[in-house]
């Protein structure tokens, strides 16, 4: 008998049998691991956290949560006035030091600059939160100009690659962490989200591969939220940033 035929017969039952034996201990291990993590929560007081897309939405609220826990913050986005407001509130909530950096994560030089400015000011970097992202529901056929899709990939995917690359040596020094604000669209593939979904899937694949490459030295957390109300879902058009997409 050919190898293929043999495998067709024996592989499915073997897979199921091995799953039956492997899955329960794996689930127990996962449960214990999540308990361990909730008991030994990281103390971020005094740590330096850089958040991209911090002017609104999830990024803004992450700034407040880190601020409440006493982290020092570098807030990055394209809109300085919005960033200043978020910085003020994060200080009120308890952050001892907040700087704002106006930058576009989809530009390589901007990404180098915001990491450099952060480390020059604070002397270290502990968490990089790759949060900046754009996108709006749109059918593929209904797209008037395909070029409109380019910033989605540039910001959601390349925007998280650039910052990560420049932050890496500093994160190695601090044994730091990367948090990636991806999306359930990265594995759920909903309609009207074609290039947005693809950008988030690319982001997930990239960071899972880096996780394997780097080992436990640098923590990577990929967050895949579902539908979260923000400027992005409200379809706000940001004129100042000169793009037709809502900016986060």
Ligand X SMILES: *[C@@H]1O[C@H](CO)[C@@H](O)[C@H](O)[C@H]1NC(C)=O
Among 147, 191, 213, 239, binds ligand X (CB under 6 A): 147
Between residues 145 and 239, which has the closer beta carbon with respect to ligand X? 145
> Is 242 an interacting residue with respect to ligand X (CB under 6 A)?
no
Give the count of residues interacting with ligand X (CB under 6 A): 2
The CB-of-145 to ligand X minimum distance in angstroms stands at 4
Between residues 36 and 242, which has the closer beta carbon with respect to ligand X? 242
Q: Which helix (H) or strand (E) holds 219?
A: strand 219-223
Binding mask 206-225 for ligand X (x = CB under 6 A): --------------------
Instruction: Indicate the SS3 state at residue 241.
Output: coil
Instruction: Indicate the SS3 state at residue 161.
Output: helix
The CB-of-199 to ligand X minimum distance in angstroms stands at 18
Both tokens of 159, joined, read 């925007």
Q: Select which of 64, 66, 162, 196 is catalytic.
A: 196
Between residues 4 and 145, which has the closer beta carbon with respect to ligand X? 145
Q: Mention every residue, 6+ apart, whose C-beta is less than 8 A from residue 10.
A: none
Between residues 4 and 147, which has the closer beta carbon with respect to ligand X? 147
Residue list 72-101, contact with ligand X (CB under 6 A): none
Distance, CA of 191 to CA of 142 (rounded, Å): 13
> Is 145 an interacting residue with respect to ligand X (CB under 6 A)?
yes
The CB-of-196 to ligand X minimum distance in angstroms stands at 18
The CB-of-242 to ligand X minimum distance in angstroms stands at 10
Cβ distance 69 to 91 under 8 Å?
A: no
Q: Which helix (H) or strand (E) holds 181?
A: strand 177-181
Distance, CA of 87 to CA of 60 (rounded, Å): 9
Task: Find, among 135, 148, 157, the residue nearest to 207 by Cα.
Answer: 157
The CB-of-153 to ligand X minimum distance in angstroms stands at 14
196 catalytic per annotation: yes
Q: Transcribe 83-146 into DSSP letters.
A: HHHHHHHHHHHT-S-EEEEE--TTSHHHHHHHHHHHHHHHS---EEEE---------STT-S-G
> Is 38 an interacting residue with respect to ligand X (CB under 6 A)?
no
Binding site for ligand X (CB under 6 A): 145, 147
Residues with catalytic roles: 196
């Amino acid at each position: 008998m050919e190898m293929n035929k043999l495998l067709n017969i024996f592989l499915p039952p073997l897979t199921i049998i091995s799953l039956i034996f492997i899955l329960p201990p794996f689930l127990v291990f996962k449960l214990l691991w999540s308990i361990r993590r909730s008991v030994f929560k990281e103390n971020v007081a005094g740590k330096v956290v850089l958040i991209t897309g911090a002017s609104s939405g999830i990024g803004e609220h992450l700034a407040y949560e880190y601020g409440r826990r006493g982290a020092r913050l570098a807030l990055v986005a394209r809109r300085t006035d919005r960033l200043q407001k978020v910085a003020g509130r994060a200080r009120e909530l308890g952050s001892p030091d907040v700087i704002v950096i106006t930058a576009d994560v989809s530009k390589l030089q901007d990404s180098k600059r915001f990491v450099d400015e952060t480390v020059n000011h604070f002397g270290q970097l502990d968490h990089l939160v790759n949060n900046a992202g754009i996108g709006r529901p749109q059918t593929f056929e209904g797209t008037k100009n395909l070029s409109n899709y380019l910033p989605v990939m540039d910001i959601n995917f390349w925007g998280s690659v650039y910052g990560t690359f420049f932050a890496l040596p500093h994160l190695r020094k601090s044994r730091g962490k990367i948090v990636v604000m991806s999306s359930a669209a990265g594995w759920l593939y909903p309609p009207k989200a074609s290039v947005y979904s693809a950008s988030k899937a690319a982001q997930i694949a990239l960071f899972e591969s880096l996780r394997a490459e780097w080992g436990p030295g640098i923590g990577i957390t990929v967050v895949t939220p579902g539908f979260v109300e923000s400027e992005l879902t409200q379809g706000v058009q940001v004129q100042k940033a000169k793009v037709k997409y809502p900016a986060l």
